[in-house]
Chain A
Amino acid sequence: MSNEHAVYVDRLVKRYGKTVALRGISFYVDEGEVFGLVGPNGAGKTTTLRILATLLLPTSGSVKIFGMDIVKDANRIRRLISYLPEEAGTYKNITGYEYLSMIAHIYFNSKKDIEEAIELGIKIAGIGDRVYDKMKTYSKGMQRRIQLARALMVKPRLAILDEPTSGLDVVQAIEIRETIRYFAKKLGITIVMSSHNMLEVQEICDRVAIIDSGRILEQGFITELLSKYGVESLEKLFINLIRGETRRESA
């Protein structure tokens, strides 16, 4: 079953001491899909993505990336994925070009591959000659563009993007969204991203999972979910689900 999916998460639990961050969530992502994890702050989105990115270990349950176990095959998985942390910053005193070059040298061996990756990185970043300036001179939007370029230029099979537009202004956010959509399709990259911006998720993602307090409340294709609940926007669906959950918990 899991071999067919790019990501297969089965009854994933994550505990920190007595606190439970994830209460047995299950979802899958097909190859080439853009999948969104939607939820309020503290819902467990970042914990889930960090487990997918091999940063944290599951307490129980299983996670497979392209059929490989996240715990046993972490090193092999790292060759196939790239991860963009939430509010990711940059090294202040090196240039965007030097940073992209470092990443290319880590991932590739041949001069041709390295040059191609850097060229693609520069293209994804789309900041012109500013790529040769120290990154401390970059705006927040430019820093995020470089980080996104870093994540996509190595053509990973799976890109894990944690709140890729958080902290950015509207224009910067739109630019990042367009870049993700365009290059994900062009390079055939599977994407798992988190966001609390419903509009953004509705615009980029094919399928979503709505997560709250470490539980997945609902998941599926956006259009199907909207018609199932008879609402016109993901925002309304989200509010209905969260409130319903709250009512159930208080009852």
Chain B
Amino acid sequence: MRALKQLLIKDIKDLLRDPRIFIPFIISAVLLPIVGIVVVQGFRQSVQAVIARPIESFAVVDLDGSELSKFIIEALNRSESVHIETFKDIQEAIVEGESEFIVVIPPGFANQFRSYVNGSGAMPVLIVIQRVESIGLGIESARAYRGVEIISSILRSMLANRLGISKALPAVLNPIASDVLLYLEPRQVFVYVTGASATMMTLPMFVAPLIVAIIGLTVLQIAATSMALENEVKTFETLLTLPIPRSSILLSKILGAFVVGLIGSMFTVIGFAIYTYMVSAGIAQYATIITPSKSPAIQLLLSLGIQNIVSPLSLLIPKISFLAMIVVSSIIMVFFLAVLGVVIGALSSDVRIASTFVGPLAMPIFIAIYFIGFTDPLHLDSFVRLVLLSIPITQTALLSKLMIVNLWLPEITIGIIISLSLTLATLIVSSRLLSMETLARIHYYFTKRKMRQLR
């Protein structure tokens, strides 16, 4: 135990004082909130450019030349809020006009409108040309639709006046409203969800597995680098001749990477938490959040004595039992990857070779994590689900996703047992491997093969 403590302290100090280890930790903690700021700023600017700014002017090209089209243009000209440019053809409007979009009244519009009003034709179509600087968010056409809405309301008022239903117009247009509540089966609760709160839900559901992957790879990289460095500078040879149990050498390496990996992960998690909060809050600004006091559905349920109504944010607070399982799973994962990293490092004669091994491992890990991020765990094949719940890294990722909806599956317990056994097996195999004799044999085998290939 004394030797283990000494070696562990040495490993932790050596790792934590290494700028190559601690700088990436700090970067992840600082960079993610910066990414959050950039995302929110970009979103805000786009939204403001498209929605927040009022429609001040647009051009109209009247190719119909009908009474109706003239009526529309006169009505638009009377409006004080918008300025109208009128042109005879589209090319002229594009070249000479200054408005951001051009509404084209096509030939035959009035006839089509008349048929539509009489119930015998298709809905008449106005053509809109929107000027843009670039195509990005996919909401560029929103302003053009708002322009057309002005013309729609002119025509709507005209029809209502002619039919004598001006007062009833709002009821004609929107006879009813609805207030939708979700009932989350696994938790047996009602949830009030709006656009913004749905974003708050889906973001952590996707982000949580991603954080798991980043933490896992960090631990793997640290363990592999730390062990490979021992080989590179031959300190490992020295350690093996000290009067200490082999298990202490292995455990100190694993625990060192484990502790440093956890410290680093905390930085990542803090960074991600700030990022998630910023993005959610940024998006929430532009969406209406129904508060319980304003929601008729919630008012009704409350008046009927139904109390199990929760906000989507409260779903993010997991149940203690689930949280405990995630903690167990995370510890298994970090430990497993630390063992794997130590094995990779032991087999590598220097740090570069270790990185060459770790690099390709990142790809399948991220593919698995993306798969978990996008997939619905309930609709997975049960065998695939069991496999994902048995491999230490995919297990934690999938659990973190299931935790958000508090969806307990019977395979979880079996998966935890399998992953624990897998980790212990890896530990036993690696403790056998951690002798100079075995490593020398493996090293000799590969060198000889290389020599044969060179010949």
Closest A-chain residue to B7, C-beta based? A102
* Docked-complex contact B241 and A53, CB < 8 angstroms: yes
Q: A92-B18, A98-B13, A106-B2 are in contact. Are A83 and B241 (CB under 8 A)?
A: yes
Q: Is A31 an interface residue (CB 8 A)?
A: no
A102-B3 Cα distance, complex, nearest whole Å = 9
Q: A85-B237, A87-B234 are in contact. Are A16 and B243 (CB under 8 A)?
A: no
Number of interface residues of B (CB under 8 A): 31
Picked from B9, B237, B441, the residue with its CB within 8 Å of the CB of A16 is B441
* Docked-complex contact B10 and A55, CB < 8 angstroms: no
**Which chain A residues (55-88) contact chain B, with CB distance < 8 Å?**
55-57, 75, 78-79, 81-88
**Which chain B residues (203-242) contact chain A, with CB distance < 8 Å?**
229, 232-235, 237-238, 240-242
Given A56-B437, A106-B3; 11 other pairs, CB 8 A cutoff: A17-B444, A17-B445, A56-B436, A78-B243, A83-B238, A84-B238, A85-B234, A91-B233, A102-B10, A103-B242, A105-B2
**Which chain B residues (277-312) contact chain A, with CB distance < 8 Å?**
none
Residues from chain B with a CB closer than 8 A to the CB of A93 are 13-18
Picked from A16, A55, A88, A147, the residue with its CB within 8 Å of the CB of B240 is A55
How far does the Cβ of A140 sit from chain B's closest Cβ, in whole Å?
11
A17-B235 Cα distance, complex, nearest whole Å = 26
* Docked-complex contact B437 and A57, CB < 8 angstroms: yes
Q: Ordered nearest first, which 6 A-B pairs have the shortest CB separation?
A: A89-B233, A93-B17, A55-B436, A83-B241, A85-B234, A85-B237
* Docked-complex contact A88 and B437, CB < 8 angstroms: no
Picked from B7, B9, B241, B448, the residue with its CB within 8 Å of the CB of A17 is B448
A80-B9 Cα distance, complex, nearest whole Å = 25
Instruction: Kindly supply a per-residue 1/0 record for chain B positions 1-36, scoring 1 wherever the CB is within 8 Å of any chain A CB and 0 otherwise.
Output: 011001101100111111000000000000000000
A75-B242 Cα distance, complex, nearest whole Å = 9
* Docked-complex contact A88 and B14, CB < 8 angstroms: no
* Docked-complex contact B437 and A89, CB < 8 angstroms: no
* Docked-complex contact B241 and A54, CB < 8 angstroms: yes
Q: Is B244 an interface residue (CB 8 A)?
A: yes
Q: Is A20 an interface residue (CB 8 A)?
A: no
Q: Is A187 an interface residue (CB 8 A)?
A: no
* Docked-complex contact B240 and A102, CB < 8 angstroms: no
List 15 A-B pairs, Cβ < 8 Å: A19-B448, A50-B436, A50-B440, A53-B237, A53-B241, A55-B436, A55-B437, A57-B437, A86-B234, A89-B232, A89-B234, A94-B17, A102-B6, A103-B242, A150-B238
A45-B232 Cα distance, complex, nearest whole Å = 20
Residues from chain B with a CB closer than 8 A to the CB of A75 are 243
Residues from chain B with a CB closer than 8 A to the CB of A89 are 232-235
* Docked-complex contact A90 and B233, CB < 8 angstroms: yes
**Which chain A residues (87-139) contact chain B, with CB distance < 8 Å?**
87-94, 98-99, 102-103, 105-107, 134
A residues at B contact (CB < 8 Å)? 16-17, 19, 50, 53-57, 75, 78-79, 81-94, 98-99, 102-103, 105-107, 134, 147, 150
Count: A-B pairs, CB below 8 Å: 89
A57-B437 Cα distance, complex, nearest whole Å = 7
Instruction: Kindly supply a per-residue 1/0 record for chain B positions 324-352, scoring 1 wherever the CB is within 8 Å of any chain A CB and 0 otherwise.
Output: 00000000000000000000000000000
How far does the Cβ of A13 sit from chain B's closest Cβ, in whole Å?
15
How far does the Cβ of A187 sit from chain B's closest Cβ, in whole Å?
18
Closest A-chain residue to B240, C-beta based? A55
* Docked-complex contact A106 and B241, CB < 8 angstroms: no
Residues from chain B with a CB closer than 8 A to the CB of A57 are 437
* Docked-complex contact B18 and A78, CB < 8 angstroms: no
A238-B18 Cα distance, complex, nearest whole Å = 46
* Docked-complex contact B238 and A85, CB < 8 angstroms: yes
* Docked-complex contact A56 and B10, CB < 8 angstroms: no
How far does the Cβ of A162 sit from chain B's closest Cβ, in whole Å?
9
**Which chain B residues (174-212) contact chain A, with CB distance < 8 Å?**
none
How far does the Cβ of A157 sit from chain B's closest Cβ, in whole Å?
12
* Docked-complex contact B14 and A92, CB < 8 angstroms: yes
How far does the Cβ of A61 sit from chain B's closest Cβ, in whole Å?
16
* Docked-complex contact B233 and A56, CB < 8 angstroms: no
Picked from A56, A79, A88, the residue with its CB within 8 Å of the CB of B235 is A88
Residues from chain B with a CB closer than 8 A to the CB of A54 are 240-241
Residues from chain A with a CB closer than 8 A to the CB of B241 are 53-55, 78, 81-83
Residues from chain B with a CB closer than 8 A to the CB of A79 are 243
A236-B238 Cα distance, complex, nearest whole Å = 34
* Docked-complex contact B9 and A102, CB < 8 angstroms: yes
* Docked-complex contact B243 and A91, CB < 8 angstroms: no
Residues from chain B with a CB closer than 8 A to the CB of A147 are 238
